[in-house]
Amino acid sequence: MNIAVLGAQWGDEGKGKIVDLLTPHFAVVGRYQGGHNAGHTVYVRGQKFVLHLIPSGILHAGVTCLIGNGVVVDPTALFHEVDELKGLGIDVDGRLFVSDRAHIILPYHRELDVLSEARRGERKIGTTSRGIGPAYEDKIGRRGVRLCDLTDAPALAEEIEHNVHARNQIIKDTHLDWRQVYDTLLAQAERLKPWTTDVSLRLHQAMAAGQRVLFEGAQGTMLDHGTYPFVTSSNASIGGVCTGLGVPPQAVGGVLGVAKAYTTRVGEGPLPTELHGEMGTRLRESGNEYGASTGRPRRCGWYDAVAVRYAARLNGLQSIALTKLDVLDGLETIEVAVAYRIGGRVVEEFPAALPPGEACEPVYEQWPGWTTPTKGATRFDALPEAARKYVARLEEVSGVPIALVSTGSDREETIIRDDRPLAAWLK
């Protein structure tokens, strides 16, 4: 059975660890959207790996990793990541492939990202400044450059000249020479060539040969369907699997959402359960909540069941991997938002336009915390009773079984529950 693993919150749910952990059950891992804005941190025997573009499955020898047409690829970032992995003894040759239809992030995309943020002033999105939005804008605007376009030098020259001319009109105080962009791209094309392939075809062939595929999401559902315009520019939710890898919906057998036992977000935009005081700091420090890509401190808050229920509905989540339960160890009381109060009304469904700040007040339930640590637990029945009750309540209010509980950053610090869907999918 093929499964999709995607974020049920605002990104940074811990997908990297979950994908890495599940990869031994699969022959192929395919990433379907986003770019090097993502930061997937994986710890293997205490060694830390941060992956941005390359699927987290790469840490397992023999697994094929595919970057789909829905991903935007910055060649410099990709080379850097490949070289870093090589330095750590992980060879990607012959098992990392990038779609010939994937769009390329060009230097002016990064500049336009920064400019657009500056122009928005206080209304800025808080992007990762990696050029993600402008690269997707060019894709939608039908002026993007794909990996396959690198083989047609005259057409490429024309496109780049046209795009850089437009850039020079927008950013008036500096001048970019299109030839420089073009020459760099041609040089990069040489290194990209052996990795460039028809990813959709490769996936179809793999599936026809009975190989199992894991579809890996980046960012999270709320950065796609959630708090517009404070979102990313790609489809992190389930539909992105089909459009971003070129596979039919029947290819997806199971959908596993990843959710943290509390909530975090980087960047601007509404976050109803955000904690500004001591408790927010406590979660940030215990959970080491700093962006894996940008190092920015993450905003922290209680578990938001309204958001996770919404993600469950949009993605058809059949199962949840709950991460970082151990970060809550030692808290006296833990809160869970089950609804919002907006304009005097109790709202249970995630609204299209979420009012900022205090205009959206979470309706909280209080749950007793636990003193016996959950850190490192590998069996559900070994968890303190209050932690088991907390997980059971999250299942009820989110409407999805919690099949996996992560109790630490290492692979071994994980509980997989036999009586929930995931265990059967892996057989």
Max Cα–Cα distance, the chain, nearest Å: 67
Q: Which residues have C-beta within 8 Å of that of residue 121, sequence separation ≥ 6?
A: none
Please confirm, yes or no, whether 175 is among the known catalytic residues. Answer: no
Catalytic residue among 20, 25, 36, 40: 40
Residue whose CB is less far from ligand IMP, 38 or 213: 38
Q: According to the binding rule CB under 6 A, does residue 64 interact with ligand IMP? A: no
Backbone angles phi, psi at 73, to 5 degrees: -110, 120
Contact stretch for ligand IMP (CB under 6 A) within 17-25, 125-133, 189-197, 245-253: 125-133
Q: Which of residues 143-202 bind ligand IMP (CB under 6 A)?
A: none
Report how many residues bind ligand IMP under the rule CB under 6 A: 20
Q: Give long-range contacts, CB 8 A cutoff, 24+ apart: 184-190.
A: 184/107, 185/75, 185/104, 185/106, 185/145, 185/150, 185/156, 185/160, 186/150, 186/153, 186/156, 188/75, 188/76, 188/79, 188/150, 189/150, 189/151
- Is 40 catalytic? The answer is yes
Of 71, 104, 125, 252, the residue at the interface with ligand IMP (CB under 6 A) is: 125
Shortest distance, position 234 Cβ to ligand IMP, whole Å:
8
The residue number whose beta carbon is nearest to ligand IMP equals 267
**Residue 130 touching ligand IMP (CB under 6 A):** yes
Q: CB of 78 within 8 A of CB of 50?
A: no
Q: Which stretch binds ligand IMP (CB under 6 A): 21-29, 124-132, 242-250, 389-397?
A: 124-132
Residue 401 C-beta: closest distance to ligand IMP, Å: 25
- Among 280, 270, 274, 240, smallest CA distance to 350 is for 270
Binding segment for ligand IMP among 34-42, 75-83, 245-253, 393-401 (CB under 6 A)? 34-42
User: Per-residue x/- marks for ligand IMP, 256-275, CB under 6 A?
Assistant: ----------xx--------
Of 345-404, binders to ligand IMP (CB under 6 A) are none
Minimum separation from the CB atom of position 148 to ligand IMP (A): 24
Q: Which helix (H) or strand (E) holds 306?
A: helix 305-315
Among candidate residues 12, 113, 224, 326, the one labeled active-site is: 12
Q: Which residues contact 315 (CB under 8 A, 6 or more apart)?
A: 4, 6, 8, 221, 237, 238, 255, 257
- 200 vs 232 by CB, closer to ligand IMP: 232
Which of 355, 221, 302 is closest to 347 using CA atoms? 355
- For tokens 């529950």, what's the residue? 417
- Show contacts with ligand IMP in window 8-27 (CB under 6 A): 11-12
CA 74/CA 234 separation, integer angstroms? 15
Segment near ligand IMP (CB under 6 A), from 130-138, 205-213, 311-319, 387-395?
130-138
Within 35-54, the residues that bind ligand IMP by CB under 6 A are 37-39
Instruction: Find out whether 163 and 58 touch, Cβ atoms under 8 Å.
Output: no
Nearer to ligand IMP, 33 or 319 (CB): 33
The correct pick among 99, 200, 232, 235 for binding ligand IMP (CB under 6 A) is 232
One-character DSSP codes across 76-112: HHHHHHHHHHHHTT---TTTEEEETTPEEP-HHHHHH
Does 221 interact with ligand IMP (rule: CB under 6 A)? Answer: no
Catalytic residue ranges:
12, 40
